[in-house]
Amino acid sequence: MPEVKDYVTPNKPTWCPGCGNFGMWEALKRALSQLGLETNEYSIVWGIGCHGNGADFTRTAGFHALHGRSLPVATALRLSRPDLKVIVEAGDGDGYGLGLGHFVHSVRRNLDMTYLAHDNQIYGLTTGQASPTSDHLMRSVSTPKGVLEEPVNPIGLALAEGATFVARGFAGDIAHLTDLYVQAIQHPGFAVVDVYQPCVTWNKINSFKWFRDRVYKLEESGWDSGDRTKAFDLSMTAFHELTCKPDECRVPIGVYYREEAVPTYEDGVTAYGEPLWKHAEKPRDISDLIEDFR
Ligand SMILES: Cc1ncc(C[n+]2csc(CCOP(=O)(O)OP(=O)(O)O)c2C)c(N)n1
Ligand code: SF4
């Protein structure tokens, strides 16, 4: 059984001391270990950002993709290697900005993979610009008078597009996050885990303390994770305002919604004939097909 130490490379993390990425990294390693996954049984695809630097420290035959483009790479990987557990690590700028179209279409496609969003509500790597999930009116180096737009609601978007597993975690509660990751990786379909991951250097508002004072666990509140409409309503009320006091805005973490008996995209592909990876094993003669395009 692999241990947590088996999932690291000799490279030392370059994240700022205290960064929320450490909690997410630890939870991922613990989840992989709990699931007994050997390093050749999963593959991770990262986007670009501080989160993506995990590619240097995490042991996997994975891929560090372009900004916002982890999902197309992961889709090809999943379809060509259905024997692997495929995990995507994205940033909020990366995944809900440039990569938002890929997110929406991957959700509705329901490929069997796990999407872990490092949601620090800021652009970390490029030094503190507002991101798609920055709070309304948040001041940043790119919005000195405050963000004018309402933030993207990743949980609501995923639910609206028919997501079959939607959860939110907090990097400051590693045990809870590990449990969410285990459930997400085991889920047969596209599993979204949006994680509040404090950026201690550039986001001075949404700090560990900010979240610790406000988070509560859905599973401890009698939440029914089988009701999509209620989950959507919760995602709309779970927005927080910069100025809200801890007792005024409670932030739910846990599984918002899950639905298991839904065919995956892979099931559909297989129904058309042999899975794609078989083609690599036994290349087909496609000269007739090419002729059709002449
Ligand atoms: C096409 C493209 N546009 C812009 C950039 C510059 N860029 C690199 S990282 C980044 C933002 C990262 O923010 P986020 O995705 O939230 O990740 P974090 O650094 O916070 O983990 C940007 C805009 C890029 N690398 N490629
Ligand atoms: S800039 Fe922010 S997100 Fe990036 S490593 Fe530092 S604390 Fe983490």
231, two tokens: 């989950």
Q: Which ligand 1 atom is the nearest neighbour of the CA of 120?
A: 20
For residues 90 and 49, give the distance between their C-alpha atoms in angstroms, rounded to a whole number.
8
Domain ranges of the chain: 4-292
List residues bridging with 143 in a β-sheet: 140
Tell me how far the alpha carbon of residue 25 lies from the centroid of ligand 2, in angstroms.
13
Look at residue 255 in the predicted model and tell me its pLDDT: 98
For residues 240 and 253, give the distance between their C-alpha atoms in angstroms, rounded to a whole number.
13
For residue 89, give the ligand nearest its CA: 1
Name the residue at shortest CA distance from atom 6 of ligand 1.
126
Specify the pTM: 0.94
Nearest CA among 170, 166, 155 for reference residue 191: 166
Question: What residue ranges of the chain have pLDDT lower than 50?
Answer: none
- Cα dihedral 110, 116, 120, 125, rounded to 10, equals -110
Ligand 1 pocket, residue 51 CB under 6 Å: yes
Q: Which of 12, 14, 16 to mutate to test the pocket of ligand 2 (most atoms within 8 A of CB)?
A: 16
Question: Tens digit of pLDDT for each residue in 50-70?
Answer: 999 999 999 999 999 999 999
For residues 85 and 292, give the distance between their C-alpha atoms in angstroms, rounded to a whole number.
37
CATH architecture, domain 4-292: 3-Layer(aba) Sandwich (3.40)
Look at residue 239 in the predicted model and tell me its pLDDT: 63
Question: Tens digit of pLDDT for each residue in 66-90?
Answer: 999 999 999 999 998 889 999 999 9
For residues 116 and 87, give the distance between their C-alpha atoms in angstroms, rounded to a whole number.
7
Nearest CA among 104, 65, 66 for reference residue 86: 65
